[in-house]
Structures are given as structure tokens and as C-alpha cells.
Amino acid sequence: MTGPKLNEYPVKRPGAKRLPVTAEQPPAVRALARFVRVSPSKVRVVLDLIRGSDVERAREILRFCDRDAAEVVGKVLDSAVANASANHELHDSEELYVSACYADEGPTLKRWRPRARGRATRIRKRTCHVTVIVSRLPDEELRVRRTRQPGAADRRRRTAASKRAARKEAAPAAEVEEVAEETVEGAVVAPAAGDTPEAEAAAEPAEDEAAETQEEEQDK
């Protein structure tokens, strides 16, 4: 049995010096899942994908990862973020990143399988303890990120502003349509032929002439 794979040293971030964790640095919040019925070697493959990544990026990687261990790691990551929010007042998950993550070996369960000639083969069912540590990004990097890539709140504000501008542009066109409808409703429409007795009397001679013309054509 190999020794524990402890990788508690914080991952180096751009603009931050690689120093041991002290009281002056932001607290590192961890979450631990013990006795997971997965081999530690399989979990470490998934942990290598998210180590040093932002929490949102790590969640995206785990969501589309096709390994079964990604579901376990995702739950541990969500637990670490919840611990950071509840115990250390780090409510914004966009400011957190996976500073360290590792999988230690747990107890191995022994099982036996019958083989040929009355023999038996041992089956080793591995377990592991998964640990995920999240920390707050350095202030310098957060400042750069906010200037280059605004967060979701900024995107929502920009979207709402663009929608308001679109509504203001559509408002004059709607007013013009309403004015046109009011003009049509208030206009005086001339009565159609046959609506009044005078119009009917004027239309009768024209009808008689048309009937006579049709009779002459039929006679020919």
C-alpha cells in the first residue's frame, strides 16, 4: 500500500507568489468525502482536470466529463463551496478556485472468486478519501478579471439595458401606428351606392340601360 497522496500546497496563480499558507492569506476551505467506493487512481485522473481551475470552470469540466468519478468529485466541490459560503462568508463562487485536490487511499475490501481446480482468486475492492480545497483568488487577479471579463451580474445589467433601449426604439413606431389608426377611425367615409334613397334613384336608370343592352346582345 502506497503512502497518502497529500497535495495541500496551494496552486500558484498568476500575480500571486507561491508561499505557505499563513493567517494573512485568505482561508482555504476544504470538503472531504471518506470511504468512497472508487479506486483512488481513477479519482486522481478527474482531480487533475480541475486542479487550479476556477469553481465555475471546474463545474463545467465535471459536468461534461464521461468518468463516473466526476459525479463524486462534483459533490465534494459543491460541499467545499457551501462551506466557504457558510463558515467564511465567501458567498461569491466566482471568486473561488480549486487550490488543491487529492485522493488518499482508504481501506481495501477483500473478496474471493472461484477459479479452476478448486482455487480462489482475491478481488481487491479499493476505496479512497477525496479532498477538495477552494481558496479565494488574489485581489490583483480579481481586479484584472473584472475589467476583462465582467461577471454574470454585469452581463445581466447589460442585457437589461439593451432590452430597455430596444423598447424605447420600438415605442415611436407604435405611437405612429396608433395615430394612423385614430385617423382612420375619425375619418368621414362616403356612403356606398344604394345606401341612400337618392343614390338608389340615380342608380336605377343605369341598371335599366344595362339590362336593355344585354337583351339586344342576346337577340343578335
Domains of the chain by residue range: 29-149
pLDDT value, residue 18? 47
Which three-class secondary structure state does DSSP give residue 217? Answer: helix
State how far the Cα of 202 lies from the Cα of 196, in Å rounded to an integer: 10
125-150 residue pLDDT tens: 999 999 999 999 888 888 887 777 65
Model confidence band, residue 213 (pLDDT cutoffs 50, 70, 90): confident
pLDDT digits 0-9 by tens, 11-66:
655 555 444 444 455 678 999 999 999 999 999 999 999 999 999 999 999 999 99
Q: Strand 96-105 to strand 120-125: parallel, antiparallel, or no bridges (unpaired)?
A: unpaired
CATH pick for 29-149 out of 2.40.340.10, 3.40.50.300, 3.90.470.10, 3.40.1260.10: 3.90.470.10
Once rounded to an integer, what is the mean pLDDT over residues 185-208? Answer: 55
- Decide: pTM greater than 0.85: no
Grid cell in block for residue 91: 458567498
> Which phi and psi (to 5°) does residue 154 adopt?
-65, -40
Please give the Cα distance from 26 to 20 (Å, whole number): 12
